[in-house]
């Protein structure tokens, strides 16, 4: 099994443009942005998907959302609005099997997405 690319980013074995970091959460710019602001927010500890959250690790979601709030303020999208996306599983569009949230903003985001 190959190593998880997001774990390698969290371990600083793969370079990324980090915009937020604390003890449990890392956030970095998406390499193929879909909006002027497109940040990936991950737990540093590997959790494969939303379906792998449990009583022991669910608090990571509130930590991620606190980070998202800080990042939205830093990038001046807190007042204009933004989108948070968590894909789950192959059919849900999850391409990296490590729980992560896409923070998108900086333009009018239509629904449904294209």
> Where does the pLDDT of residue 1 fall: very low under 50, low under 70, confident under 90, or very high at 90 and above?
very low
Give the chain's domain count: 1
Phi, psi of 50 (to 5 degrees): -55, -35
Q: Does residue 72 lie within any of the structural domains?
A: yes
Residue 38 designated active-site: no
Q: Does residue 62 lie within any of the structural domains?
A: yes
Instruction: State how far the Cα of 25 lies from the Cα of 42, in Å rounded to an integer.
Output: 6
Q: Does residue 101 lie within any of the structural domains?
A: yes
Residue 24, domain extent: 5-105
pLDDT value for 2: 62
Phi, psi of 7 (to 5 degrees): -65, -40
User: Which residues share a beta bridge with 27?
Assistant: 20, 41
Cis peptide before 112 (omega within 30 of 0): yes
Over residues 42-46, the mean pLDDT reads: 98
pTM over cut 0.85: yes
Percent of the chain clearing pLDDT 90 (strictly above): 93
Q: Does residue 97 lie within any of the structural domains?
A: yes
Q: What is the Rg, in whole angstroms, of the alpha carbon atoms belonging to the chain?
A: 14
Over residues 11-36, the mean pLDDT reads: 97
Residue 36 belongs to domain with CATH number? 3.30.428.10
Helical segments of the chain, H only: 5-10, 59-74
Closest C-alpha to 22, from 65, 75, 72, 82:
65
Q: Does residue 112 lie within any of the structural domains?
A: no
Per-residue pLDDT tens over the stretch 46-99: 999 999 999 999 999 999 999 999 999 999 999 999 999 999 999 999 999 999
Which of the residues 38, 98, 100, 102 is marked catalytic? 100
Q: Does residue 35 lie within any of the structural domains?
A: yes
Residue pointed to by tokens 């948070």: 84
Q: Does residue 114 lie within any of the structural domains?
A: no
């Amino acid at each position: 099994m190959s190593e998880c690319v997001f774990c390698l980013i969290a371990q600083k074995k793969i370079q990324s443009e980090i915009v937020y970091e604390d003890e449990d959460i890392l956030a970095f710019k998406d390499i193929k942005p879909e909006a002027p602001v497109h940040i990936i927010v991950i737990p540093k500890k590997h959790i494969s998907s939303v379906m792998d959250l449990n009583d022991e690790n669910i608090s990571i979601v509130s930590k991620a959302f606190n980070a998202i709030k800080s990042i939205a303020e830093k990038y001046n999208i807190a007042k204009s609005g933004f989108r948070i996306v968590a894909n789950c599983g192959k059919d849900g569009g999850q391409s990296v099997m490590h729980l992560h949230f896409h923070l998108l903003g900086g333009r009018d985001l239509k629904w449904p997405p294209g």
